[in-house]
Amino acid sequence: MERIILEVDDTVGKVYRNFSPESKQQFNQTVSLMVKKALNDATFAEYSKLLDEAGNDAVKNGLTPEILEALLATDD
């Protein structure tokens, strides 16, 4: 486990400091999962953007659905 510091508003900080050790652990696990999901979503969005850009470039360079289908049908 790696320790990081997150800045939160005063109310959240006060509530967190009053949590039991078990509640802090559960809270930390929940926040960790939320951050992982946000990172995965960002990664997917970046990947999707790259695919869109590649598709747009291919169309600009003359790729048509027919050409794509012919290329996919070859064994090369």
Looking at residue 56, what is its pLDDT? Answer: 93
The pLDDT confidence band at residue 1, using thresholds 50, 70 and 90, is: confident
- Residues 51/34/1/45 CA torsion (nearest 10 deg): 10
Q: What is the average pLDDT score of the chain?
A: 90
Q: Above 90 in pLDDT, residue 19?
A: yes
Q: How far apart are CA 25 and CA 31, in angstroms?
A: 10
Q: What is the mean pLDDT of residues 15-22?
A: 94
pTM of the model: 0.57
* Sign of the four-CA dihedral 67, 69, 72, 76: negative
- Dihedral sign for Cα 36, 38, 44, 50, please: negative
Q: Report whether pLDDT(34) > 80.
A: yes
Amino acid of residue 1 = M
